[in-house]
């Protein structure tokens, strides 16, 4: 998608609002995360100037200059795999870690957030398609164990689930994935008494975010449809 970031952003927001309407919700119930991977700071600033306030990055080091360039009003989510040795930097830079995928990483983040005196939101990443090239928990049993691990944490807060299904999947398979994620969140909320806090579902990207919203997504991660092809 070529051209003007502000125009692209407005179109994406309209599509989000329409998909939310089809699912019986208000468009405000869906958070748009503008994914800035490989995008230059100038393009990111264009989105901010057009009203976008929530951004997503895959890599800690790539995010830092963009975070420094934008106003503190911008909120940043880490959507790529986080190495434990970068946890301290991530806690200082991001509002949410969407790629929590192990008890080991959770322990490190809890410690770093405590040291910083800063609560940290997180989403548990589920590797729905079990692709070897993707991070994430492989099944619901692993997810339950992680939820149990986080139950006693003070600083690291689990807010929901995230997934990145195989982009080669067709609409029916993608919708099945999204619906299953919604069901998993509901089951875990009841099982662990987390209905009030386990509220987020981050799923859907440029090619499938409308289907994701119709199946219950509360966050969509959109890059190409806003900024154009990655450079």
Give 19-53 pLDDT, tens digit per residue: 999 999 999 999 999 999 999 999 999 999 999 99
Number of neighbours of residue 204 by Cβ within 10 angstroms: 27
pLDDT number for residue 1? 47
**Percent of the chain topping pLDDT 70:** 96
Give 131-169 pLDDT, tens digit per residue: 555 678 888 899 999 999 998 899 999 999 999 988 889
pLDDT of residue 231 exceeding 90, the answer is no
pLDDT of residue 215 exceeding 80, the answer is yes
**Please, what is the average pLDDT of the chain?**
94
The pTM for the full model equals: 0.94
Domains present along the chain, CATH in parentheses: 5-227 (3.20.20.10)
Distances (CA, A) of 207 to 33, 127, 186, 190, 212: 14, 18, 25, 32, 10
Residues 6+ apart with CB under 8 A from 45: 69, 70
Do the beta carbons of residue 160 and residue 201 sit within 8 Å?
Answer: yes
Provide mean pLDDT across the span 208-230: 96
pLDDT number for residue 189? 95
């Amino acid at each position: 998608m070529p051209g003007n970031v502000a125009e692209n952003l407005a179109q994406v927001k309209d599509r989000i609002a329409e998909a939310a309407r089809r699912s019986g919700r208000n468009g405000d119930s869906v958070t748009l995360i503008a994914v800035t991977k490989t995008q230059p700071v100038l393009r990111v600033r264009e989105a901010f100037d057009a009203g976008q306030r929530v951004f997503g990055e895959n890599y800690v080091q790539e995010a830092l200059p963009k975070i420094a360039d934008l106003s503190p009003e911008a909120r940043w989510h880490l959507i790529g795999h986080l190495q434990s040795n970068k946890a301290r930097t991530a806690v200082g830079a991001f509002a949410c870690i969407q790629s929590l995928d192990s008890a080991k990483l959770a322990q490190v983040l809890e410690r770093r957030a405590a040291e910083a005196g800063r609560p940290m939101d997180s989403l548990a990443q589920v590797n729905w398609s079990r692709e070897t090239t993707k991070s994430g928990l492989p099944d619901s049993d692993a997810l339950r164990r992680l939820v149990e691990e986080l139950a006693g944490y003070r600083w690291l807060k689990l807010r929901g689930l995230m997934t990145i299904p195989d982009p080669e999947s067709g609409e029916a398979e993608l919708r099945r994935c999204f619906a299953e994620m919604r069901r998993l969140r509901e089951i875990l909320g009841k099982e662990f008494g987390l209905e009030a806090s386990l509220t987020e579902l981050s799923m859907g990207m440029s090619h499938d975010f409308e289907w994701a919203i119709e199946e219950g997504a509360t966050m969509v991660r959109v890059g190409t449809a806003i900024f154009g092809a990655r450079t």
